[in-house]
């Protein structure tokens, strides 16, 4: 019995390190776990940064819309002041005409008839609705830096909006959204780099409505091409420019000598 106890004790001591070694990770495994955690954290951080950037862009668009609403409100207030002034002048004219008519020595029937005619004309001026104020819609934007090798069906973004009356164009998405229905004119100019070609389409609600080709594949030179389109839009229709499947992936130039631009206005 003594011998068996001693042997069992020795067996337990020998096997104990092996059982513990199965529970303890090697330094390499721990490093791999830490790397996986860091990779997951980095992916989460990048996702949060992307969502934050999108929120900032949406906030900028909302600010532009608020500025546009404030401008419209100011114009309406000026229009109300102008109409009130016109109404006051018409009322004064009515009083003066009534005073003058009372001094005329014509027969009562003729005086009454002429006074009624004048009063009807003046009342028509007061009651007729004023002409509607038409808010102008126009935009002009261009690229501040080149677009290196855009992929197929890539929406071109013209990030500098020099003119944006009506706030229909977004410099973040490169898309124009019609603030009101009507006939619109769009023009664009694309400058292509050497040894390449760009087929550019004007898209209206994701449907091709126009296009241009800049081609320098067989020449060590630059090329600039423009086009114009006239479209009938409903309120909320969107228009933008994009590359097509036929485009060679060469740079789209943008500098102070040759602007790559996009503009439009309502007739």
Q: Are 65 and 167 in contact (CB under 8 A)?
A: yes
Q: Which residues contact 261 (CB under 8 A, 6 or more apart)?
A: 140, 141, 142, 143, 158, 188, 189
Q: Which residue in the block uniquely carries the two structure tokens 């009454």?
A: 112
pLDDT tens-digit map of 37-81: 888 888 888 888 888 888 888 778 788 887 777 777 777 787 778
CA distance linking residue 122 with residue 88, whole number of Å = 12
CA distance linking residue 168 with residue 177, whole number of Å = 5
pLDDT tens-digit map of 98-143: 777 665 544 445 566 666 666 666 555 555 555 566 789 999 999 9
The bridge status of strand 176-177 relative to strand 261-266 is unpaired
Taking the whole predicted model, whether its pTM rises above 0.85 is answered as no
CATH class of 138-266: mainly beta
Q: Is 45 helix (H, G, I), strand (E, B) or coil?
A: helix
Q: Give the tokens for residue 14.
A: 């020998």
**Domains of the chain: which residue ranges?**
138-266
**pLDDT at residue 236, as a whole number:** 95
Q: What is the Cα 245 distance to its own chain's centre?
A: 25
pLDDT score of 19 more than 50: no
């Amino acid at each position: 019995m003594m011998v068996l106890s001693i042997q069992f004790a020795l067996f337990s001591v020998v096997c104990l390190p092996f059982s513990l070694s199965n529970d303890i990770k090697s330094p390499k495994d721990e490093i791999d776990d830490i790397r996986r955690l860091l990779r997951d954290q980095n992916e989460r951080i990048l996702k949060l940064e992307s969502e934050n950037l999108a929120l900032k862009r949406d906030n900028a668009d909302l600010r532009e819309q608020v500025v546009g609403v404030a401008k419209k409100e100011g114009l309406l207030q000026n229009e109300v002041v102008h109409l009130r002034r016109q109404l006051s002048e018409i009322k004064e004219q009515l009083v003066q005409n009534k005073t003058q008519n009372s001094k005329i020595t014509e027969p009562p029937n003729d005086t009454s008839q002429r006074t009624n005619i004048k009063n009807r004309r003046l009342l028509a001026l007061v009651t007729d609705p004023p002409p509607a104020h038409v808010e102008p819609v126009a935009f002009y934007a261009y690229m501040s830096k080149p677009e290196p090798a855009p992929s197929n069906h890539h929406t071109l973004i013209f990030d500098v909006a020099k003119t944006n009356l009506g706030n229909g164009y977004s410099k973040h998405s490169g898309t124009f959204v019609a603030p009101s229905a009507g006939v619109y004119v769009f023009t664009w100019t694309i400058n292509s780099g050497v040894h390449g070609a760009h087929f550019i389409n004007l898209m209206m609600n994701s449907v091709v409505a126009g296009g241009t080709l800049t081609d320098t594949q067989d020449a060590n030179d630059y090329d600039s091409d423009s086009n114009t389109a006239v479209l009938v839009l409903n309120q909320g229709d969107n228009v933008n420019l994009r590359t097509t499947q036929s485009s060679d992936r060469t740079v789209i130039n943008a500098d102070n000598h040759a602007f790559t631009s996009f503009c439009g206005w309502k007739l």
